[in-house]
Amino acid sequence: MAIIRTFDLTKKFGEFTAVDHLNLSIEEGEIFGLLGPNGAGKTTTLLMLTTVIKPTEGTAYVGEYDITKEPDKARRLVGMAFQEPKLMWVMTPWDVLNWHAKVCGLSSSERKQRVKWALTELGLWEDRHKSVHTFSGGMRKRVEVAKILIQRPKIAIVDEPTTQIDIVGKHRIWNMIRALRDEGSTIILATNELYEADILSDRVAIMHRGKLLVCDSPKKLKDSIVGGDLIELVLEKEAAENTVEELKKIEKVVDVLAIKPNHLRIYLNHAEEVLPQITELFMKARLPIRSIRMSEPSLDDVFAHYTGLTIEEAEKQ
Amino acid sequence: MFLHYKFVLILRALWFLAQIALFGLIVNRMVKEEVQVVTGGNYFYFYAAGIVVTLLYSMTVFIGYDIYEEADHGVTEYLLSLPVSRRELVLGRAIGGGLRSFLYVAPLMFVVLLLIGITDPFRILIALTALFLFAFGVAGMSITLAMSIKSHDRFDILLGVLNAFIVRLSTTMYPVAFMPPQYAAMAQFNPLTFAADIFRWGAGLEAVLLTSPFVSVFGIVVFFSVFTFLGIVFYEKRLEGGGWR
């Protein structure tokens, strides 16, 4: 069942269209990745869904509430951890989180328990009474993420939750996001980190210049690139021409390129399913294989497939 | 958050001391007998009560600066995303801002009450409640202005000009009896006049031509209601449209 539906959701700032007729459906209980370079319109979309800004055109339903007609009710279903840490600049993490929990309506005992839990889990317990002024970017980011973990909203929006955070911290936050989903929250994860979107998301929507390019599970998106998988074979000796021709005839093999006489690069789909057929072909041809390297496309390839640009190139534009 | 403005607080307290111990005492010696009579027998008390209200006003308008600071730090987006209605948010800001400045000014208010002497605790209770509402109204007004002016510098200048008129066209420093009729007419509808006169009434000053306590309380309630309402409207219009970005 869809918990968020957008209908031609559009936001313009003067002449600039930040989000352009976005139509999305997010299922209850999923981790939904919103992927795109900086300036793609991800954050503006999220700000509209949290009713922080009003759409210029179109609307969205959060739960059963239209964000343009019943924003107060829609807002009560959503919690957001922002891209930039939003802290009351003179307070300690304990104060920031306690205040947030209070505004979200948590009882005194529940508040203390959850704040302590989140600070401990995110490795901030020892620093809970220090000024956030003294914190590194990563520590501030953890305080921001902690807000959502304490609030446990029906729809949790996390905007680039692991930027500036070290790899151990990233894994910790990813596990906590998964745990939040397992407890019943729907997660919207906005990120420009492809790996993060790939491993966390049940489905990914890719945005570019305010528009939705494509939306599906990471696997289906990667499979949608014809010949996106790659197998590189190094043979003991040169491959005969007829063997290469036979190789090309295998279903799902898109192209075969001989880099060297004994080094073949095979472009195909569903490499894991086709590999046994390929090895069998070379065994029959009495051509021993020295090494096999297999790789599948990344979400960056998916982005490049639809835009002709890598994420980095798109960000520079 | 309470001591966020401790620097301002200390300077304002010093300003208050200068106004009372220097300016107030000296001017009190300068004023004629006629003025002393109209102001309840002691111009110094009349002035001290007025200057406390001026201080309450100038401390409360500081919440407008908070709005700009929050926008600069990105806290505005956070506040707007919280699971509370816009009405609750603006009321919370206005009440929080009003309460904060009231607590800042309370010790100085107490000093003035000690100087004047409290004759009727019930009256002073009514007066303080009205001043509470007045402070919330000033906070609502400051939020409304901050919401309607995008530039921090312009807001700063506007407040300076507004302060000059709103303080001088009120009875905080001088009684309405000595104002030119046109000025007096305007001063009678000034929220600072309502606040200063209700405080004097609460403290038991028997000055001539004080605004009636009923009119003062009514005026303060209207002031509070109008600016709280405008604060909510401007918050919604300006911020939800993304106008602060």
Q: Does B84 touch chain A (CB under 8 A)?
A: yes
Q: Can you give the pLDDT at residue A78?
A: 95
Give the span between the Cα atoms of A26 and A20, in whole angstroms. 18
CA distances from B164 to A112, B133, B161, B169 (A): 47, 22, 5, 8
For A212, residues 6+ apart whose C-beta sits below 8 A from its C-beta are A22, A23, A24, A205, A206
Would you tell me how many other CB atoms lie within 10 Å of the CB of residue A286? Answer: 9
Q: Number of helices (H) and strands (E), helices first, in chain A?
A: 12, 14
Q: Can you give the pLDDT at residue B236?
A: 72
Q: Can you give the pLDDT at residue A64?
A: 93
Q: What is the mean pLDDT of residues A177-193?
A: 93
Q: Quick one: which of B60, B37, B221, B105 has its CA closest to B113? A: B105
Q: What is the mean pLDDT of residues A221-241?
A: 85
pLDDT digits (tens, 9 = 90+) for A158-179: 999 988 888 888 998 999 999 9
CA A2, chain centre distance (Å): 19
Assigned fold of A2-222: Rossmann fold (3.40.50)
Residue A189's pLDDT band (boundaries 50, 70, 90)?
A: very high
Q: Does A153 touch chain B (CB under 8 A)?
A: yes
Per DSSP, the residues of A42-78 read HHHHHHHHTTSS--SEEEEEETTEETTT-HHHHHTTE
Q: According to the per-residue pLDDT averaged within each range, which of A138-142, A148-152, A222-226 is highest?
A: A148-152
pLDDT digits (tens, 9 = 90+) for A23-49: 999 999 999 999 988 889 999 999 999
pTM: 0.78
For chain B, positions 176-235, list CB contacts with chain A under 8 A.
none
On the question of pLDDT at A89 being above 60, the answer is no
Would you tell me how many other CB atoms lie within 10 Å of the CB of residue A217? Answer: 14
Give the span between the Cα atoms of B151 and B64, in whole angstroms. 12
Q: Can you give the pLDDT at residue B245?
A: 54
Coil/strand/helix, residue B30 = helix
What are the mean pLDDT values of chain B's consecutive 10-residue runs (245 residues total)?
66 82 79 70 84 92 86 84 86 85 88 82 88 91 87 90 91 86 90 92 76 88 90 74 54
Give the span between the Cα atoms of A216 and B53, in whole angstroms. 63
On the question of pLDDT at A186 being above 80, the answer is yes
Coil/strand/helix, residue A164 = coil
A317, with CB counted inside 10 A (0-12, 13-18, 19+), is exposed
Instruction: Among A56, A57, A62, A75, pick the best mutation site for testing chain B contact (most B Cβ within 10 A).
Output: A75
Give the span between the Cα atoms of B57 and B170, in whole angstroms. 12
Q: Can you give the pLDDT at residue B119?
A: 74
Amino acid identity of residue A145, one-letter, is V
Residue B82 to residue A88, Cβ atoms within 8 A: no
On the question of pLDDT at A87 being above 70, the answer is no
CA distances from B207 to A287, B43, B200 (A): 113, 9, 8
CATH code given to domain A226-296 = 3.30.70.100
Q: Where are the domains of chain A?
A: 2-222, 226-296
Residue B83 to residue A11, Cβ atoms within 8 A: no
Residue A79 to residue B83, Cβ atoms within 8 A: yes
Which helix (H) or strand (E) segment holds residue A171: the answer is helix A167-182
On the question of pLDDT at A233 being above 80, the answer is yes
Give the span between the Cα atoms of A131 and A94, in whole angstroms. 10
Q: Can you give the pLDDT at residue A157?
A: 95
Q: Does B7 touch chain A (CB under 8 A)?
A: no
Q: Does A289 touch chain B (CB under 8 A)?
A: no
Chain B residues closer than 8 Å to A53 by CB: 239-242
On the question of pLDDT at A316 being above 60, the answer is yes
Q: Can you give the pLDDT at residue B149?
A: 85
Kindly report the average pLDDT of chain A as a whole number. Answer: 89
Q: Can you give the pLDDT at residue A305?
A: 79
On the question of pLDDT at A255 being above 80, the answer is yes
Q: Which residue has the higher pLDDT, A240 or A85?
A: A240
